[in-house]
Amino acid sequence: MKVLDKIWDYLETGRFSEHITIGRLTIYGFNAMHVAVNFWTKKWGYVCFHPPMYCFGKWWPWYFYVSKSATPWEATYAIGPGVDNHAKEMARVRRKWPLCSKCMAHVESPGSKVCWRHSKIDGE
């Protein structure tokens, strides 16, 4: 697996500061993501994992979350010290919210029928 060797070499030497996308998988290097892996699934959106990583002179704790927008602020599942407690709490609450009537995302708030994207598109 030449590609994996190359990726590992980049990660190990700290020279990899870009990201690599292979189909639905994206691997982030030593940049704002502090080395992370995102995998897109149709059902849950992005599955995001970040191992404990020493980057830019400090340790960044691990996290694992599932989010439509690949950000912890829309996560429907989140664990690890790398995600703050508010995001985890919101993920727990969000899982109980109904799904958007137009896509598989959760609704924007408990009272609405569509997700934040569809509420923007429709101007509801």
Distance (Å, whole) CA 49 – CA 62:
8
Neighbours of 9 (CB within 10 A): 11
Contact 113, 103 (CB under 8 A): no
Closest CB 58 distance from Zn ion, rounded Å:
38
Q: Which is nearer to Zn ion, 88 or 118 (CB)?
A: 118
Closest CB 95 distance from Zn ion, rounded Å:
16
Q: Which is nearer to Zn ion, 10 or 40 (CB)?
A: 40
Contact 62, 50 (CB under 8 A): yes
Closest CB 115 distance from Zn ion, rounded Å:
4
Q: Which is nearer to Zn ion, 19 or 113 (CB)?
A: 113
> How is the chain split among helix, strand and coil, in percent rounded to 5?
25, 30, 45
- Positions touching Zn ion (CB under 5 A) are 100, 102-103, 105, 115, 118
Shortest-Cβ-distance residue relative to Zn ion: 100
